[in-house]
Amino acid sequence: MADERDKPGFAPLPAGRRLAQEAETLLSSTADAAPHSFAVGSVIGQKYRLTRFLGQGGMGTVWVAEQTDLGVPVAVKVMHRHVAAQGEYVERFRREARAALLLSHPNVVRVLDFGQHEETFYIVMEFIAGKALDEWLAEHSGLPPIAEVVPICVGVLDALEAAHRHGIVHRDLKPENVILSEDAQGRRVAKVVDFGLAHVEDPTKVAPTLTRKDMVAGTPAYMSPEQSRSLAVGPSTDLYAFGCLLTELLQGRPPFEAPSPIETISQHLFLPPPPLERPEGAEPVPPLLERLRLELLAKHPHQRPADAATARARLLEAVDPQKSSQRLPSRKGEVAAGERDARVPEWNVSAPAEPAPQVRGERVTLVGASDSLLRDPTLAAGLAAHGFRVVSADTIGEAPGTDAWVCDVGSDVELAASELARPHGAVPVLIAVSGLDTVRMRRLIEAGAADVIAHPITPDVLAKKLRRLLRRR
């Protein structure tokens, strides 16, 4: 597939708008996927007769089939013909087969065959009589018991450990990609499927991943901050997704939800993981399990558990009453200060050590044109994460009840001066300007700006400026 950046006249979008555009394109629903072009009775690859349609996604359709020579039931995923015409997606489909073929593990669905049929491609997998984890959750009238959640989580972590050991990062772990079945003894088994977005470390290739450096791919509700930023992914990326999955098992929904993909991504990037919300009278979640969940959702990869095996061990420890009591004595006085500090999630420990702001809940209005950097939704989400109520306006004075205005004027100092001339009473105005120098700063301060900030604007720097202004006021 041609890179858009190679086309004449291409101009890069601002980071936030580009992220929003690509997220809406890559992460949208697959409801508009083309109808499948096969029917019951069709024979794929001259040896797999389709017997039942299971469903479809953006890449292809999934069928129950019969291996004609042996009469063995299998599952066949057939790529949409219009997708098969694009080389990048064929390689992604092939990668899914290769990633699964590398794995032989009871918690990973086995791939049995891969081939080409007419103008498309297919993958043959073991047929699993079961249901996806999201369906299983939907069937519960309430939340599932923790005793049922733990074995499912252990199975998923075992699958991730096996994948990571082979240099494979799934990158799209979610309830739909976990199938629950039963083994010969009637025990529930969780199997991870769909390695279509997998990153496979291949030392023989210069570029082992199909995803461009400035592109995001995955499912927003389960994407780690580094994956959302299209940075390098690793095993810790899957552990973050597992933290989202664990949250959904414990409260019925993932940690972050929003009306659009870009808003969900912004929450992953900037908001701390919210506390669990369980209905009144629900089974209490062991403290060590909640601590593990928060560490899995840490913003930085190095702050999460070291690997899937470590997460598995801590999960089992968290639900073992004896081990849990040893780690969490009943009285704080029994715990040494250093040990007590160690119980705080690392994402919180490593936060900047500054006094708690006194401006929580203050309303800030961002003023700028439609192409202003302040219109980047990630900036608003970042300010919200710092405790500010954020609204937007086109000019100063449009939002009564504002505690502070932030006005983006690009490089137009005269525009800033005209905005500052608007009535704004004692409410401080912070001007954001590009190409800032001493002369411009002096001109803006003389015009009435309470402070000046230069581009690029980041939420943490802007939040500090605003706290300082509001405390001074």
* pLDDT, tens only, 83-119: 777 777 777 777 767 776 777 888 988 888 888 888 7
Residue-wise burial string across 428-461, b where 16 or more C-beta atoms lie within 10 A, e elsewhere: bbbbbbeebeeebbebbeebbbbbbbeeebebee
Place of tokens 């997220």: 23
| Mean pLDDT, range 325-333, rounded to an integer | 59
What pLDDT is attached to residue 309? 96
402 close to 364: Cβ distance less than 8 angstroms: yes
Token code pair at residue 319: 């639900």
Q: Does residue 59 carry a pLDDT above 50?
A: yes
Token code pair at residue 115: 């081939």
| Mean pLDDT, range 222-244, rounded to an integer | 90
- Ranked by mean pLDDT, the top range of 27-41, 202-216, 276-290, 356-370 is 276-290
Q: Does residue 460 carry a pLDDT above 90?
A: no
Q: Does residue 235 carry a pLDDT above 70?
A: yes
* Percent of the chain topping pLDDT 90: 23
Amino acid type, 8: P
Q: Does residue 304 carry a pLDDT above 90?
A: yes
Position with higher pLDDT, 75 vs 25: 75
For the chain, the average pLDDT equals: 77
Catalytic residues: 172
What pLDDT is attached to residue 237? 94
Label residue 329 by pLDDT band (50, 70, 90).
low
What is the number of other CB atoms lying within 10 angstroms of the CB of residue 353?
6
What pLDDT is attached to residue 391? 81
Instruction: Name 29's Cβ contacts closer than 8 Å, sequence gap at least 6.
Output: none
| Domains of the chain by start residue, with CATH | 43-126 (3.30.200.20), 131-202+210-274+286-329 (1.10.510.10), 363-472 (3.40.50.2300)
Position with higher pLDDT, 405 vs 178: 178
Position with higher pLDDT, 197 vs 440: 440
What pLDDT is attached to residue 359? 39
Position with higher pLDDT, 327 vs 389: 389
123: β partners: 77, 114
What pLDDT is attached to residue 439? 79
What pLDDT is attached to residue 175? 93
What is the number of other CB atoms lying within 10 angstroms of the CB of residue 422?
15
Label residue 303 by pLDDT band (50, 70, 90).
very high
What pLDDT is attached to residue 385? 74
134 close to 175: Cβ distance less than 8 angstroms: yes
What pLDDT is attached to residue 161? 95
Position with higher pLDDT, 301 vs 343: 301
What pLDDT is attached to residue 452? 83
The Cα 139–Cα 296 span in angstroms is: 27
Q: Does residue 266 carry a pLDDT above 50?
A: yes
The Cα 225–Cα 228 span in angstroms is: 5
Three-class DSSP category at 381: helix
Q: Does residue 32 carry a pLDDT above 50?
A: no
Instruction: Name 322's Cβ contacts closer than 8 Å, sequence gap at least 6.
Output: none
What pLDDT is attached to residue 25? 36
Range with lowest mean pLDDT among 85-94, 118-127, 243-252: 85-94
Number of H helices, E strands in the chain: 17, 16
The Cα 121–Cα 83 span in angstroms is: 10
* Percent of the chain topping pLDDT 70: 77
Range with lowest mean pLDDT among 240-244, 338-342, 365-369: 338-342
Q: Does residue 26 carry a pLDDT above 80?
A: no
Q: Does residue 29 carry a pLDDT above 50?
A: no
